Amino acid sequence: MKTVRLTITTSDQELCGALQSEKIPHLTVRVPTRDSIEWLPSPTATFTFFIETSKVIALSLFSRWLYDRLVKKKPDKASVDNTDVVNDPTKVTVIISNYITLLQQEANKEEKHE
């Protein structure tokens, strides 16, 4: 199982619940922290997501889901790992593609050591 840590700051207050209810095969989402305090009025929330997967393709599906969410909801603020993605949601796919590349490189190294 491979894990990717993403920090997402967004004005889409429903993102966390929507992601946790989304069923993407071979993908588990854990949200151990939310950096904003529930009872304080805040236009944005910061979530740290741990995305666990046994198949790299699941990250591509997650990337597409997040891209679609940003295009449909059009939040006032959205950043992934401190990169602003609100004006250019395609940056989401670039960020997650970088993680996919890293996971594939790790998998190749593990195969060579076996």
In terms of residue numbers, what domain contains 84? 2-113
Q: How many domains does the chain have?
A: 1
d(CA 1, CA 58) in angstroms, rounded, equals 12
The model's pLDDT over 57-103, given as tens digits with 9 standing for 90+, comes to 888 888 889 889 888 888 888 899 999 998 888 898 888 888 888 88
Alpha carbons 31 and 38: distance in angstroms, whole number:
15
End-to-end CA distance of the chain: 17
Residue with tokens 């970088």: 98
Rounded to two decimals, the pTM is 0.75
Query: Could you report the per-residue pLDDT of 7-23, keeping only the tens digit for each?
Result: 888 888 788 888 888 88
